[in-house]
């Protein structure tokens, strides 16, 4: 294992007003992420790549890796008679990924707790989650505990209690004094770093928003390349990309680029999980997004169902609620996959 102690020296989270002091089990700082990954014994740890800042991007895997069909890619199999050859269908593989946007720390916190559950039977609060652990035994599980380690190196622990007016310290400010705010910040890719006065937590140190580093042939960050590589190497069936939004947890609508079958799966999982947590849906199952991002690139590369889950970062509630809601989401995905394949590749391609 590399020694990252020099890099971890003097890291200070940027201060954001009106937020709350985190509990000790909410471990989202770089030295904590590295410590938690280094403590993994039952799972396997791999450094997928390094960020421009030199931080490791980890994958932690659990469950047996079954042999796969020879070297073939998903696009090739989509034209074959046997698209199901993409994966060893005796087993499904789930990928949970956190921290692409580094101020959205709830996913990082959740995967840290999930790793603790897998390793010790209790999460970092000392609480067991037997149903989730029983479900997890049925899958190969791939965890990317924090993708944007650069942004996380100065990102705050949480944003609970803030309003968007408090975001100044984590937003990108240009040398002309202008802040780049959502969605105008998406007019730049990557950021013009020579014009940046203060870098925001959305980006790695080269100004790349990894979530949108998804143009085939022009993928520029090591982090996005690593996501696509491991998704294919592991022949994943499902990817949950963990982000955080404001007051309500939700799944982002599936994109129109997705295979119709995967599109339905995202809505079905969303409906089942929403019923579980008592959330009312104000839209039907035709609702879609026209944006494209890394999820679409992963779907194109693997045929997997991919979805973005958003925590309620700003909502003032018990810290535990944010974790419990995410556990319910993870259980829903796993329960769904026990009843039917998450990515039934042959059926996905039938017209
Ligand atoms: Zn995000």
What phi, psi does 233 have (nearest 5°)?
-55, -35
How far is residue 40's CA from residue 286's CA, in Å, rounded to a whole number?
Answer: 41
- CA of 256 from ligand 1 middle (Å) equals 19
How many whole angstroms from 201 Cα to the centroid of ligand 1?
Answer: 10
> How much distance in Å is there from the Cα of 292 to the middle of ligand 1?
13
CA of 254 to the centre of ligand 1 (A): 15
Q: How far, in Å, from the CA of 55 to the mean position of ligand 1?
A: 20
Across the chain, mean pLDDT equals: 95
Q: What is the pLDDT of residue 175?
A: 96
Residue 287 has pLDDT above 80, yes or no: yes
Cα 242 to ligand 1 centroid, rounded to whole Å:
8
Is the pLDDT reported for residue 351 higher than 80?
no
- Is residue 1's pLDDT more than 80? no
Segment 168-199, tens digit of pLDDT: 999 999 999 999 988 899 999 999 999 999 99
Residue 183, preceding bond cis, omega within 30 degrees? yes
Q: Which residues, in sequence order, are CB contacts of 103 under 8 Å at separation 6+?
A: 151, 155, 156, 159, 170, 200, 201, 202, 244
Q: How far is the CA of 162 from the centre of ligand 1 (A)?
A: 16
Could you tell me if 214 and 294 are in contact, meaning their C-beta atoms sit under 8 angstroms apart?
Answer: yes
Tell how many helices (H) and how many strands (E) occur in the chain.
11, 10
- Residue range 33-45, pLDDT digits in tens: 999 999 999 999 9
What is the distance in A from the centroid of ligand 1 to the CA of 70? Answer: 35
More confident residue, 258 or 227: 227
Length of the chain: 351
* CA of 296 relative to ligand 1 center, distance in Å: 15
* Distance in Å, CA 90 to ligand 1 centroid: 33
In the reported structure, the alpha carbon of residue 336 is separated from the centroid of ligand 1 by a whole-number distance in angstroms of 25
The pLDDT value recorded for residue 172 is 96
Give, as residue ranges, everything with CB less than 5 Å from ion ligand 1.
101, 104, 243
**How much distance in Å is there from the Cα of 104 to the middle of ligand 1?**
6
Q: Where are the domains of the chain?
A: 5-349
CB 60 within 8 A of CB 179: no
Q: How close is the Cα of 271 to the center of ligand 1, in Å?
A: 21
User: Look-up: residue for tokens 């396997």?
Assistant: 44
Rounded distance from Cα 89 to ligand 1 centre (Å): 32
Q: Give me ligand 1 centre to Cα 134, in Å.
A: 30
Residue range 326-330: average pLDDT? 98
Q: What is the pLDDT of residues 107-137, one digit of tens each?
A: 999 999 999 999 999 999 999 999 999 999 9
Rounded Cα gap, residues 38 and 71, in angstroms: 32
DSSP state of 220: -
* Distance from the Cα of residue 198 to its chain's centroid: 25
Q: Which of 114, 143, 106, 148 is nearest to 244 (CA)?
A: 106
CA of 267 to the centre of ligand 1 (A): 20
Nearest to 106 by CA among 155, 171, 158, 31: 158
pLDDT tens-digit map of 45-97:
999 999 999 999 999 999 999 999 889 999 999 999 999 999 999 999 999 99
Closest-CA residue to 265 (of 347, 351, 343, 349): 343
Residue 243 CA to ligand 1 center (angstroms) comes to 4
Arch. (CATH architecture) of 5-349? 3-Layer(aba) Sandwich (3.40)
Phi, psi of 323 (to 5 degrees): -70, -45
**pLDDT value of residue 112:** 98
If phi > 0 it is left, if psi is from -120 to 50 it is alpha, else beta; for residue 177 that is left
Backbone angles phi, psi at 107, to 5 degrees: -65, -40
- Whether residue 258 has pLDDT greater than 90: no
């Amino acid at each position: 294992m590399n020694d990252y102690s020099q890099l971890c020296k003097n890291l200070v989270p940027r201060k954001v007003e009106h937020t709350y002091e985190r509990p000790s089990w909410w471990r989202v700082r770089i030295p904590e992420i590295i410590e938690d990954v280094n403590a993994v014994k039952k799972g396997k740890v791999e450094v997928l790549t390094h960020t421009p800042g030199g931080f490791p991007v980890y994958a932690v895997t659990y469950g047996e890796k079954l042999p796969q069909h020879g070297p073939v890619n998903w696009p090739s199999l989509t034209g074959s008679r046997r698209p199901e050859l993409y994966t060893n269908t005796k087993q499904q593989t789930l990928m949970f990924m956190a921290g692409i946007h580094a101020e959205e720390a709830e996913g990082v916190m959740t995967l840290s707790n999930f790793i603790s559950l897998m390793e010790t039977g209790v999460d970092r609060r000392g609480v067991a989650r037997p149903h989730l652990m029983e479900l997890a035994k049925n899958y190969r599980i791939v965890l990317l505990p924090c993708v944007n380690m650069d942004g996380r190196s100065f990102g705050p622990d949480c944003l609970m209690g803030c309003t968007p007016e408090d975001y100044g310290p984590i937003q990108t400010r240009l040398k002309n004094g202008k802040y780049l705010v959502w969605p105008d910040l998406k007019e730049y890719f990557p950021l013009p770093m020579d014009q940046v006065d203060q870098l925001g937590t959305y980006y790695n140190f080269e100004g790349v928003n990894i979530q949108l580093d998804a143009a085939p042939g022009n993928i520029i960050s090591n982090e996005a390349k690593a996501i696509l590589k491991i998704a294919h190497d592991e022949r994943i069936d499902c990817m949950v990309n963990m982000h955080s939004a404001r007051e309500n947890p939700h799944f982002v609508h599936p994109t129109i680029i997705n295979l119709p079958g995967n599109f339905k799966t995202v809505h079905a999982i969303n409906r089942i999980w929403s019923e579980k947590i008592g959330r009312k849906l104000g839209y039907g199952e035709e609702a879609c997004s026209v944006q494209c991002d890394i999820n679409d690139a992963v779907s194109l590369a693997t045929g997997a169902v991919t979805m973005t889950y958003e925590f309620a970062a700003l909502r003032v509630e018990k810290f535990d609620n944010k974790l419990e809601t995410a556990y319910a989401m993870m259980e829903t995905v796993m329960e769904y996959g026990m009843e039917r394949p998450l990515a039934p590749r042959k059926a996905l391609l039938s017209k």
